[in-house]
Amino acid sequence: MKYLDEYRDARIARALAAEIARKTTRHWVLMEICGGQTHTLMRYGIDELLPGEIEMVHGPGCPVCVTPLETIDKAIEIASRPGTTLVSYGDMLRVPGSRTDLFRVKASGGDIRVAYSPMESVKVARENPDRQVVFFAVGFETTAPANAMAVWQARREGLKNFSMLVSHVLVPPAIRTLLSSPRNRVQGFIAPGHVCTVVGYRDYEDLVRDFRVPMVVGGFEPIDLLEAISMLVGQLEEGRAEVENQYVRSVSYEGNLPAQRIMAEVFDVCDRKWRGVGSIGASGYCLRPEYAEYDADRIFGLEQVTAEEPAECISAEVLQGLKKPFECSAFGTGCTPQMPLGAPMVSAEGACAAYYQYRRHAAAVTEER
């Protein structure tokens, strides 16, 4: 595939790995924010190419993983009601709620449909005027423009049977929370390339200034990540702390301005709870008051739904980079992608699931088959 194979080239990868090894004089702890980046690191075994001094820890950037339990419960409640259709990204279906998951609601007769784009849910609403159609809008800044567009379009068409269950999260407040923790070990960040494609990287300059920590906006292919790591190590070794952009083929300083306009038109910033993390101020999007009639929370009277998450696993430490998934006693035994105990095992982009799926042989974890 043109424009993609170049970023998976083994020769370039080895050259970059050698360059990183040459630059590195001491131990550095780096975090990739985005679950997509974690997935690439694990899938391509990039940790095997890095010198021992570079420790990669894995950030909270998996939207499926961090969607709070109560939001899953709300989606389950909506999908269980007669006359409603829930449209969702596929990965949300097997995320466990308090008592069940959407797959099981579907198996019991709930009308749940998987979509690749939120606009498909607007189409479903248009074609089924007798049903209440709800789109389950999760994700970071990346999916926000398309979700905003769906609501905007529904209002323009005057659809009365369409609404959105919004659980959007924002990256910079999560990084700020992480850096503010007294237990933080992370010395450099690979910022999420897709998020920055939408919103640019102005916000990351504030983080760099406030915490004096280097950040490199990185892509998602093996060469992107190795290059971003090389740039981070360069900054750390030279004592610099700046925002640099590795993912120039997609990310500009300002980001995608039309996308930002539609987001601002439809969404307000609000506090948001993160599964496995807790509540973070001003870390999410919700619908603006003008769009309240499209708010599934309000339409279905679910504002009061809450769920307590029992403390079972070490996802806190994993998401902060304090522990590796391997170091959890439940990893691969009591906790697997099939029976996840915690957020990072839920989606393929979660750190624990990525370790389980691609790397557990490296840790000599044997599994009873």
Q: Which of residues 5-34 bind another protein (CB under 8 A)?
A: 8, 10, 13-14
Among 27, 81, 160, 183, binds another protein (CB under 8 A): 183
CA distances from 143 to 136, 256, 304 (A): 12, 13, 26
Q: 137 has which bridge partners? A: 166
Contact flag: residue 124 with another protein (CB under 8 A): no
Query: What is the C-alpha to C-alpha distance for residues 137 and 148, in angstroms, rounded to an integer?
Result: 9
Among 214, 342, 350, 351, binds another protein (CB under 8 A): 342
Contact flag: residue 298 with another protein (CB under 8 A): no
Contact flag: residue 323 with another protein (CB under 8 A): no
Query: What is the C-alpha to C-alpha distance for residues 163 and 106, in angstroms, rounded to an integer?
Result: 19
* 8 Å CB contact between 294 and 151: yes
Among 15, 18, 25, 107, binds another protein (CB under 8 A): 107
Other CB atoms within 10 A of residue 206 CB: 12
Nearest to 165 by CA among 125, 137, 133, 124: 137
| Contact flags string 41-60 toward another protein, x per CB under 8 A | -xxxxx-xx-----------
Contact flag: residue 116 with another protein (CB under 8 A): yes
Give the gyration radius of the chain's Cα atoms. 21
* H or E stretch at 155: helix 144-157
Q: Please choose, out of 20-28, 37-45, 185-193, 195-203, the segment that lies near another protein by the rule CB under 8 A.
A: 37-45
CA distances from 343 to 22, 174, 278 (A): 36, 15, 12
Contact flag: residue 358 with another protein (CB under 8 A): yes
Contact flag: residue 274 with another protein (CB under 8 A): yes
Contact flag: residue 106 with another protein (CB under 8 A): yes
Contact flag: residue 369 with another protein (CB under 8 A): yes
Contact flag: residue 280 with another protein (CB under 8 A): yes
Query: What is the C-alpha to C-alpha distance for residues 356 and 362, in angstroms, rounded to an integer?
Result: 10
- State which of positions 219-248 bind another protein (CB under 8 A): 222
CB of 44 to another protein, least distance (A): 5
Residue 75 corresponds to which tokens in the numbers above? 């989606």
Q: Please choose, out of 98-106, 127-135, 205-213, 240-248, the segment that lies near another protein by the rule CB under 8 A.
A: 98-106
